Structure 1
């Protein structure tokens, strides 16, 4: 009996030691992660400041952009959009969500002297803020913020809450599509419906840009799109939050080459 109790106590002690070692290892990993984040934060912030300065200079903006932290598009993502728009000169740009990117893309349309941005926004208050920003920059004629509340869409046998697209002009051929919404909190794989609902409207050579591409949900969305829409070529661009570019058919080589050039404001690929 005494041997049995001793064996049980020894086993319990070993289990406790194993559990404590596991916790110590987790703490060790967390400390290293926090240290790495602290070490890299100044460099990341500097790269974003560089991108913001580059954006202001390239677009010759007279007023400051809306905030580019938190949920908003990061400066390096916005600069990627601006450079593509300036090179490809799409006539129709559609955005999923509005904000600083709407101002940036509307300015690109103004500089090229043609084109229109259509921005789907489910939050009425945020839509009003974006319209006010467009007016402040004198860009109201180049972008239309569409009130597009989330509604149920039946896709692939599932129901998805996504933007109401009824107010997008009929027959649009989208030359550039930017997907930065709806927010992840609206549901799992929240941005997936953009594929089946908007990709059929893409013009030949159109480009799609997906923000936050480093997140697990966006990675899963890209895999699903790759399976369902293999004709769109996918590539990852180095941005703070991750950026995926999808291209329909052929895109002029000079535009692809420009996108591949290293940029000092871009973070390493995730």
Structure 2
């Protein structure tokens, strides 16, 4: 009996208060973003997708704090929902979506084209290559090509969800690239911020760039500068 319970716990995360809380937060957040999910093409949620909680947080941040200049590393569900939000709420925003996998990015682009949402997103297909700004000569998006796309843009919202988190410390290079491209008031989101590698990355970002991250919802790193309203979609007070 005891062994059976251990197997259930390992497989489904039962008896784990934190995992159960994350699941409840995702269920509640799915309700919040439901208007962007219905009456449209179905979009696949995979193990690599942003959690519904994280998606709701990003969408709230755009709407509540009037974010207009956005860059995301890693195209996906966030790309589609941000475009749908812009259309539904008649928002004047610019989203640059950076992705190293052209085949995957084209898949996302086809969804936007079918929904006539392509006007809200600028896709940047940027291969991964060695970078002088990376740790231990790791790969990141080709900075020369990326600079040609972003030009003199000052971003007020950054979503770091790529390169894939299982590669290691590659995501560190986002800040050496962006630190001089941030607006006066901005928010930075880092997915998988609970992981050991991302914890090391945020530690280095704080040390080198004075960027203080907090983990919200168990997995999402959030750093803010300047005036803002709280956009956390699930905030408990007891």
Q: TM over 0.5, yes or no? A: yes
Deviation at 1:156, TM superposition (A): 6.7
The one of the two structures with greater contact order (alpha-carbon pairs below 8 A, sep at least 6) is: 2
Deviation at 1:198, TM superposition (A): 1.3
Match of 2:160 in 1: 179
1:235 equivalent to 2:208? Answer no
Is 2:9–2:15's contact at 8 Å kept on the other side of the alignment?
A: no
CA distance in 2, matches of 1:226, 1:158: 19
Unmatched runs of 5 consecutive residues or more in structure 1 = 1-26, 265-270
Match of 1:208 in 2: 188
Q: Deviations over 1:62-104 (max 9, x none)?
A: 3155223301111111011001111112221000010000012
Report how many aligned residue pairs link the two structures.
229
Match of 2:131 in 1: 153
CA distance in 1, matches of 2:155, 2:171: 17
Q: Scaled by the length of structure 2, what TM-score is found?
A: 0.84
Q: Deviations over 1:218-262 (max 9, x none)?
A: 1111101010011x33222115xx0011123x122xx13x43861
Is 1:106–1:116's contact at 8 Å kept on the other side of the alignment?
A: no
Match of 1:217 in 2: 197
1:97 equivalent to 2:80? Answer no
CA distance in 2, matches of 1:261, 1:34: 26
Is 1:62–1:137's contact at 8 Å kept on the other side of the alignment?
A: no
RMSD after superposition: 2.9
Match of 1:70 in 2: 47
Range that drifts further, 200-209 or 154-163: 154-163
CA distance in 2, matches of 1:66, 1:35: 26
Unmatched runs of 5 consecutive residues or more in structure 2 = none
